[in-house]
Amino acid sequence: MAPGRFLHSHPYIYSDVEIVAIIEHARMLPSFYGPSRPDLLDAESGVLHIQQGKFGKERLLLLDPSVVQRPG
């Protein structure tokens, strides 16, 4: 491979089951900022509330509807 060239790997797409397992496991992890807050995702409005982001800033992230829609 020539200098300055990068080999990119293929992205891995997580299944719905894997995403749920990751989220459930993350809820059980200890937090430096106190107990976990399961109400930080407002699925009705599609907003994720980050309380302690980079540099301690609070952020509201609008999520794509495909992220919060429930299969059914």
| DSSP symbols for 23-43 | HHHHHHS--TTSS--GGGEET
Give the burial string for 32-61 (b: 16+ CB within 10 Å, else e).
eeeeeeeeebeeeebeeeeeeeeeeeeeee
pLDDT for the residue 67:
75
DSSP lists the bridge partners of residue 41 as 48
User: In the prediction, which pLDDT does 66 show?
Assistant: 78
- What confidence score (pLDDT) does residue 40 get? 66
What pLDDT shows up at residue 2?
64
Across the chain, which has 72 residues, the per-10-residue mean pLDDT values are 75 89 81 55 75 80 77 62
Which pLDDT belongs to residue 6? 77
